[in-house]
Structure 1
């Protein structure tokens, strides 16, 4: 057997995903239909009439981070995503820290969005007169999510694309009807002099949460066709399409509530209210169904991304070697996907068992997940110019983009811990810091015992030690 054939047995399903399927991973992880229904009311509570402006600023900032991610994605590909990218630029410790934080972010996001799916599913079932414990619904959803991630990455991608497309179209239909009903211009939102700058800033942090996961298409480095072209395109297009959708729907949502006299921050299901107000209540039901399944698709996308980070860490010897195993027929990281799904389910059932509501779980796990994403984004933005300098390709504008992204993300990260948030969120940074310290201790022990540094392993992987015939695409 040739060296390539021997090595390829441990590889994922090579170059099987088209551009739309690669885009689906980023879009599903962003889960754009969730933002107008769950996150916009929270942003409005801080930003008020400046909600749409918080989303404009958030979009610009995430575009800057995406440009730094794409410095790597258009030159190399790996299922480790930001973990391997930051390691290639900044070395072993920064690479591990990025991967460790990203892993927590994906797993916590999976739990958060699955709890959101439970909340919407329970509401729909109550309307239909069906009563089931949240834990039973969570178990059912989690088993399906695991099976989809375990079975076939193409099935995952196509399912996620169809689900998100349906949800976005339903919300867009209501937004168009609301604009026709209430008028295009909402002067309350267009009066910049009345904006509260601090409120817009505070709303920015929540607005950023709507974008996290945009980089997850990079985890398909072995599975995407023409990865050096399609992955950067998927990341960029995912951000831009989501940004346009977020700004537009935030504006329409606030305008609809301004016209009604109701306060948006007091509503858990705002688009159900708006669709009923314009005499299209059935569209509100469709949206609720769509966002339930969209949240489920986001959980699948998070499991997919987490599994591939686990796979990369298993290959590099940082985590148990079982995580690098690939299913012989499905060509998926089945052990890693099972671990990710099991962690999500265990966290969900534990929190429900402790008396937390699905909405509480969404808020708490989503908050801590954001810490992981923000740390990862800062590190990969730092790594980008260093990586380009190593390659002899650094330009002044690359340094500017790196510094601008950090200048945007760092204050947002600081705002999560200062001023000190109210309980129980005041304890979350300490939980996350403890997780990071445990991970770093583990890394130092494992790296000391290894006969090759993590940096060397990452460099070997990204320099193309395991080529495939389709790499030339």
Structure 2
């Protein structure tokens, strides 16, 4: 017979957050989600990948991807409007699907934010080298040095003050987007206003190609949920967090639709097609005789990728933090900085892993390949997390007696839409080594399951303790 007594460690740590309360308003929460989505990342590096599949329908693929994830966001907000806590998506899914579901979601999100953070480090490196080249500094600077600079500064800022790190991401990403929109205006209006009929009519676009392109669109849009990880520190969280989740998706989704149209239009008839360009924004600047924009565009990309790593570090540490306080991870990771009230131990552990993985990886391949592969690996995790929250929402609403036919319909529709990129990730089977990535993710999930089993055997009653806390805390 299983002993269900709550362990003393769980009794003393689960219900106390130790984080600053009500310090993040709507702008800071919106900044967290937008920075993790990273509009610059898509405009600078991902749109060519989407174009390789969707062609003239690239803008439509992003429109569909945005609408699909808005359905996921509506399910996520069923929780966000009713409760809040640190690492909220972990807590949300736990409330709907129980502690095992919650821990699975938390474990999965750590994978997601880790690899998106690695994409931030590698993007910082790619455009850091470009900036140095544009100002006349040439030389083989090791990638690991760029990784280290971005990682150390991000760690220092996140440990110092969550408000500072959150607002800085908004400022940095905003500057980068302004440079990109300036270029877009040049492309669209330099030779008068013309409607690109090939794009409007989706010339040559196939349903199969669009379904594959949506996978790249998901990579572009993931991260909108990261504002929920700041639930323990948000001001008026049950109002501001749902708004941040929705508006981050709407703003960035529209930006991607516009930039998809602009980049396809602007590169048509050039010496190289969009899908073959490694830096499409700089190519457009040269093509439209505004080469002076290349430096601010590249510099904007550098600071945007830094902001991406910063936001991933904030979000990931706030998943580790409550899981450590629930005894899933070592207790030291559930402690806060004495004066700054930030989860310093979790931040330190997470950034060390985030730095070590690409540092080792870079000895085997180039930085751009690491960027692409990291995004693909992260996408598998995000898809699972979104499936889990979509399933958990109607279950949770039934528990509290508030499930309606509309909520069931939204959940079912979101689930069906998520199947599109899921199938596109596996069929047709991608080339090696990308074909191994799903199995790497499954191995990571299996490792998490083993870890939870061993932990639950060492701390009898831990699952009961987690369930009790999730049901009663932070109403």
TM-score when normalising by structure 1: 0.94
CA separation of 1:414/1:463 partners in 2, compared to 1, >3 Å: closer, same or farther?
Answer: same
Q: Distance in 2 between matches of 1:438 and 1:8?
A: 27
> For the residues of structure 1 that align with 2:175 and 2:222, how far apart are their CA atoms?
21
Q: Write the distance in 1 (CA, Å) between the matches of 2:301 and 2:195.
A: 27
Are 2:284 and 1:274 aligned?
Answer: yes
Partner of 2:257: 247
Deviates more, 1:411-420 or 1:242-251: 411-420
Higher mean displacement: 127-136 or 167-176:
127-136
How many angstroms apart in 2 are the aligned matches of 1:112 and 1:6? 34
Aligned to 1:344: 354
**Alpha-carbon distance in 1 for matches of 2:21, 2:471:** 16
Q: Which residue of 1 aligns with 2:76?
A: 69
Q: Structure 1 residues 448, 270: CA separation in 2 closer, same or farther (over 3 Å shift)?
A: same
Unaligned runs of 5+ in 2: 1-11
1:91 is paired with a residue whose SS is helix
Q: Distance in 2 between matches of 1:412 and 1:351?
A: 27
Separation (CA, whole Å) in 2 of partners of 1:417 and 1:265: 21
2:87 match: 80
Which residue of 1 is the match for residue 5 of structure 2?
A: none
Q: Structure 2 CA distance, aligned partners of 1:401 and 1:456?
A: 31
Q: Within 5 Å, give how 1:33-52 maps onto structure 2.
A: 33-52=40-59
1:25 to 12, 20, 32: 32
Contact 1:92–1:453 (Cα < 8 Å) also in 2: no
Q: Does the aligned pair in 1 maintain the 2:184–2:259 contact within 8 Å? A: yes
The CA distance in 1 between the partners of 2:330 and 2:423, in whole Å, is: 34
Output aligned runs, 1:232-311, within 5 Å: 232-258=242-268, 260=270, 262-311=272-321
Match of 1:470 in 2: none
2: CA distance between counterparts of 1:329 and 1:283?
43
Gap runs ≥5 in structure 1 = 468-473
Distance 1:453 1:336 in 2: 20
Query: Partner residue of 1:129?
Result: 137
Match of 1:175 in 2: 184
Residue 262 (structure 1) shift: 3.7
The offset of 1:94, in angstroms, is: 1.5
How far off is 1:163 after superposition? 0.4
| Contact in 2 for aligned 1:88/1:455 (Cα 8 Å) | no
- Structure 1 equivalent of residue 7 of structure 2: none
Determine the C-alpha separation between the residues in 2 that align with 1:126 and 1:194.
Answer: 38
Query: How do residues 414-453 of structure 1 correspond to structure 2 at under 5 angstroms?
Result: 414-453=423-462
Q: Quick one: distance in 2 between partners of 1:353 and 1:193?
A: 42
- Which digits, 9 at most, give the CA deviation of each residue in 1:412-452, with x for residues without a partner? 12322232210110111111111110110111221234343
The SS at the match of 1:233 is helix
Residues 77, 462 of structure 1: 8 Å contact kept: no
8 Å contact 2:125–2:367 — kept in the other structure? yes
Rounded to whole Å, the distance in 1 between the matches of 2:337 and 2:470 is 21
CA separation of 1:6 and 1:85: change in aligned 2, threshold 3 A = closer
The equivalent residue for 2:205 is: 195
Is contact 1:23–1:238 with CA below 8 Å preserved after alignment? yes
Shift of 1:409: 1.1
What residue number does 1:471 align with? none
1:331 to partner: Cα distance: 0.7
Which residue pairs with 2:334 in the alignment? Answer: 324
Quote the offset at 1:373 in angstroms.
Answer: 0.7
Give CA deviations for 1:292-337 in whole Å, capped at 9, x if unaligned: 1101110110011110100011011111111110111111000000
Please say if residues 124 and 146 of structure 2, whose CA atoms lie closer than 8 Å, have aligned partners that are also in contact: no
Match of 2:127 in 1: 120
Report whether the alignment pairs 1:227 with 2:234.
no
Q: Is the 8 A contact 1:88 1:459 kept in 2?
A: no
**2:386 aligned residue:** 377
The verdict on how the C-alpha distance between 1:145 and 1:323 changes in structure 2, with shifts beyond 3 A counting, is same
How much has 1:134 moved relative to structure 2?
Answer: 1.5
Q: Do 1:87 and 1:455's aligned partners in 2 also have CA atoms closer than 8 Å?
A: no
Query: Does 2:96 match 1:89?
Result: yes
Distance 1:89 1:371, change over 3 A: same
TM-score normalised to structure 2 length:
0.93
CA contact (8 A) 1:117 1:292 kept: yes
Equivalent position to 1:204, from 214, 233, 238: 214
Q: Is the aligned partner of 1:362 residue 2:371?
A: yes
- Deviation, 1:14, is 1.0
Which range moves more in the overlay, 358-367 or 187-196?
Answer: 187-196
Hey, what's the Cα distance between the residues in 2 that align with 1:378 and 1:369? Answer: 14
3-state SS of paired residue (1:195): coil
Question: What do you get for the CA RMSD once the two structures are aligned?
Answer: 1.8
